[in-house]
Structure 1
Amino acid sequence: MTTRRHDIDALRVIAFGLLILYHTGMAYVADWGFHIKSAHTAEWLQWPMLFMNRWRMCLLFMISGIAIALAAPEGRLLRFAGQRTWRLMLPLIFGMFVVVPIQPYCEGVSSGHVVPGFGDFLLRYWQVRPWPPHSFTGWEHGITWNHLWYLPYLWAYTLILVASMPLLSLPWVRGALATFCRAPAILFIGAPTALLTGFLLRLHPLYPDSGAFFGDWYQHAKYGFVFLAGYLLARDDAFWDRVVSMRKGMLATAMIAVTVWLGLRLAGQLLPPDAIAYRIPDSFWHPFAASVETLYLWTMLLAILGWGKVFLDRPFRWLPYATEAVYPWYMLHQSLIVLLVFVLKPMGLGAWLEPTLVIGGTVAGCALLHELVIRRVAFIRPLFGLKARQRANHEGHGAPSLAASSTMPALHHSR
């Protein structure tokens, strides 16, 4: 019997709520690539987007690691791996062929690389043959997973974790983790920050973000680390006591770090390169900026976990339903966003009305499709990562167990 951690479920729901706002913002932020862009883009949106995108995907990977740990699957590893494969890869395959295609269609038609006519496009898309260059993101593969990239990443990390669990359960490993959780703050914060900084400085220049899985080594290092950290630390009471007691200091540190980091980015945009080089030598500038960025990432993760434990670890009435809805909403939301921008853009509705309708339409579309179709039709449920109705009701009034919800994905196309 596992203990239900309501705060972990609630943080996942909140993070996915932010996902709709973030991906809507991708259509309106100036100078950032996305599948479709509105005519109403704004440079100021870059700053709140930067504030969020440095930690939000890491938070979701960390939550997944925590949820797996709290589910305690060590006595049933093969069964656990099989369940995770089914609940991650079936929705991925279905999503790539059925849910995602509207995105490359809208992208291709908007850029002039695809002839209008969704039926003809879909028949061609299902053939999984390379498209003419630049038809849409992923044209060279003939098919794309777009925002569903998180599913294969999480699947791979989960299988590697399952294979490593016997080693990770050794007494000396648990002892080292207990020592870390009780270590001085400079080590508790500084060691992970240093490791993440090393990834950023060494791997990112060689392997920039791609979302293509193969060769995406910087993202694998970063996301794999926080996923593993979530699993290793989740069952240590000292860790949770620590993040709760340090939550105010962690949040203050994160706010100072992000202020400095964003300030450095702003200075880099406004000051001429020779002026920047004169004030701060190149040998210091880049490592310092990277260190501040990763300090922000790690302390923000710990602050969110600490504050979440304090305020969210309670059985909210809305939480079981919302926990079940996360997976279908994740799969649907970006296709709805892209479709709505594609339809509304020619209407010239203005810089405030258009995004308001996009957000409202996305929320309404996700809610209606989940409530009226996905959760009610038996054969559709597993295609969106949901358990069979009888089994789901038995385990918690329609909400997946914590072990099941550990597979709930998050996504993001442009990191």
Structure 2
Amino acid sequence: MVRRHDIDALRVFAFALLILYHASGVYETNSDFHIVSSYQYDWVEWVRIVVNRWRMPLLFAISGIAIGLYQPTRGPLRFAGNRTWRLLLPLVFGMLFIVPIQSYCEAVRNGAVPAGFVHFMQRYLQIKPWPDGGWSGASHGVTWNHLWYLAYLWLYTLVLLILLPLLESGIGKRLQAWLANRSLVWMIVIPTALFFGYLMLLKPLFPETHALVGDWFLHAEYFSVLLFGYLISRQQDFWQRVTRWRWKMLLVALLGIAVELGLRAMGRGLLLPDDVPEWLTVLPWGGIERAGRALYMWTALLAIFGWGHAWLNRPYGWLPYATEAVYPWYILHQSLIVLLAYWLIPLKLGGGIESTLVIGGTIAGCLLLHELVIRRVGFLRPLFGLKRKRNSNLARSTTAPVSAL
């Protein structure tokens, strides 16, 4: 397998961003997060939009690149079995023993169940629907909350493996070379048009659910970027071009998000004056907003890859350890956020202090649980997506482990 330091580093930064993003859900005005603070801020929504447009496409694209660098054609069945084990085992374990922390806090805060985690877990592990359970997923009796990514990634990986004979055929190789040699304009226009089509045709019919079944808008968007990641993973011409274009991509991305945020603000009456010209009232603002969104998502993705390749493609000393830590931190972080917010919200410490403690406590909890427990206890390692240790030496290795994410 070919290792790419910039891809490993981008994966670390993208998952680290999830802590800030999910913690911000506690403080967003009109938030639908599992637990919400009494301290809410309008500006948080705008920041979340800026980040949300590319954060999950980035993770799926990185996963596609990682699969391409691994070159699973040398053993597709073995690769499928390994990915199934490393994705579904942590998913099931997390749904049964990590995510319930969030469900319990949410249900108690909603007044749906009495305080008492042991009693809640005894009922939760029966995996039966909860009438009026008061927590996300109660009607199913079990939920995966933020771990939905593992189920989606597993499904997309299997679909990609089925497509391998076509992708590695002569036609597939020509497609990869064609993608790597597009001009700047075509590299922007073609994918933006594709993602714009998804927004216009699929999103109104299939709202985002993260329920796997019937989530066709997200499947189209996420599998497309994963497939793109696979196709360009070994195309050096592409990486040279995207690195050279990184400033231009950044500027176009800023234009795209300015269009989306500007039109959203207009729709809320923040920028649209009362005496607006009549021609402005008949333009298809929804379509223009979606075009800005598609343009921003795609060019932000390319800009991140360009800047990452320019700045991060080197063997940083912290990278092997951080690459290993990504999976356990991902599994733990949202349950820690919800638990800390559940404890801290009643104390009325003030928005600044409370949010700092939630974020800082989450980082500290992930660090301590990973370093002192998960990576040192053999049977826990696969439950959190880590490979078993072949020896008792826990020193940091010089070669980053292959991540399943």
TM-score class, shorter-chain normalisation, is over 0.9
The equivalent of 2:164 in structure 1 is 165
Asked if residue 11 in structure 1 is aligned to residue 27 in structure 2, the reply is no
The equivalent of 2:330 in structure 1 is 330
The equivalent of 1:388 in structure 2 is 388
1:189 maps to a residue whose letter is I
The equivalent of 1:175 in structure 2 is 174
**Structure 1 position 284, deviation (Å):** 2.4
Contact 2:26 2:37 in 1 (8 A): yes
**Structure 1 position 173, deviation (Å):** 2.0
1:330 maps to a residue whose letter is Y
The equivalent of 1:79 in structure 2 is 78
Contact 2:200 2:290 in 1 (8 A): yes
Distance 1:184 1:392, change over 3 A: farther
The one-character-per-residue Cα deviations of 1:301-344 (angstroms, maximum 9, x if unpaired) are 00000000010001101000000000000000000000000000
Alignment of 1:1-400 (within 5 A): 2-133=1-132, 135-270=134-269, 278-280=278-280, 284-390=284-390, 397=397
The one-character-per-residue Cα deviations of 1:145-195 (angstroms, maximum 9, x if unpaired) are 000000000000000001110111111222123123222222111111000
Runs of 4+ in structure 1 deviating by more than 6 angstroms, as ranges, are: 272-277, 391-394
Q: Distance in 2 between matches of 1:109 and 1:276?
A: 48
Q: Distance in 2 between matches of 1:133 and 1:52?
A: 33
Does the residue aligned with 1:389 lie in a helix, a strand or coil? coil
Distance 1:384 1:19, change over 3 A: same
Contact 2:325 2:370 in 1 (8 A): yes
Does the residue aligned with 2:378 lie in a helix, a strand or coil? coil
**Structure 1 position 283, deviation (Å):** 6.0
**Structure 1 position 256, deviation (Å):** 1.4
**Structure 1 position 51, deviation (Å):** 0.5
2:241 maps to a residue whose letter is R
Distance 1:274 1:61, change over 3 A: farther
Does the residue aligned with 2:51 lie in a helix, a strand or coil? helix
Contact 2:26 2:36 in 1 (8 A): yes
Q: Distance in 1 between matches of 2:121 and 2:178?
A: 55
Does the residue aligned with 2:39 lie in a helix, a strand or coil? coil
Q: Distance in 1 between matches of 2:398 and 2:382?
A: 14
Alignment size in residue pairs: 404
Does the residue aligned with 2:351 lie in a helix, a strand or coil? coil
How large is the RMSD of aligned CA atoms in angstroms? 2.0
Contact 1:392 1:398 in 2 (8 A): no
The one-character-per-residue Cα deviations of 1:350-374 (angstroms, maximum 9, x if unpaired) are 0100000001110010000000100
2:337 maps to a residue whose letter is I
Q: Distance in 2 between matches of 1:306 and 1:330?
A: 25
Q: Distance in 2 between matches of 1:392 and 1:43?
A: 50
> Which stretch of the first structure deviates more once superposed, 323-332 or 270-279?
270-279
Contact 1:392 1:399 in 2 (8 A): no
**Structure 1 position 73, deviation (Å):** 1.2
Contact 2:35 2:341 in 1 (8 A): yes
Q: Distance in 2 between matches of 1:275 and 1:218?
A: 37
Q: Distance in 1 between matches of 2:76 and 2:14?
A: 28
Contact 1:387 1:400 in 2 (8 A): no
**Structure 1 position 32, deviation (Å):** 2.3
| Amino-acid identity (%) | 52
Compare relative contact order (CA 8 Å, sep 6+) and give the higher one, 1 or 2: 1
Contact 2:179 2:232 in 1 (8 A): no
**Structure 1 position 47, deviation (Å):** 1.1
Distance 1:118 1:398, change over 3 A: farther
Does the residue aligned with 1:238 lie in a helix, a strand or coil? helix
> Which stretch of the first structure deviates more once superposed, 375-384 or 111-120?
111-120
Q: Distance in 2 between matches of 1:262 and 1:123?
A: 46
- Give the alignment's TM-score, normalised by structure 1: 0.94
Contact 1:321 1:399 in 2 (8 A): no
Q: Distance in 1 between matches of 2:96 and 2:308?
A: 36
2:171 maps to a residue whose letter is W
Structure 1, unmatched stretches of 5+, are 409-415
> Which stretch of the first structure deviates more once superposed, 125-134 or 354-363?
125-134
1:164 maps to a residue whose letter is L
The equivalent of 1:412 in structure 2 is none
Q: Distance in 2 between matches of 1:242 and 1:391?
A: 43
Q: Distance in 2 between matches of 1:214 and 1:23?
A: 24
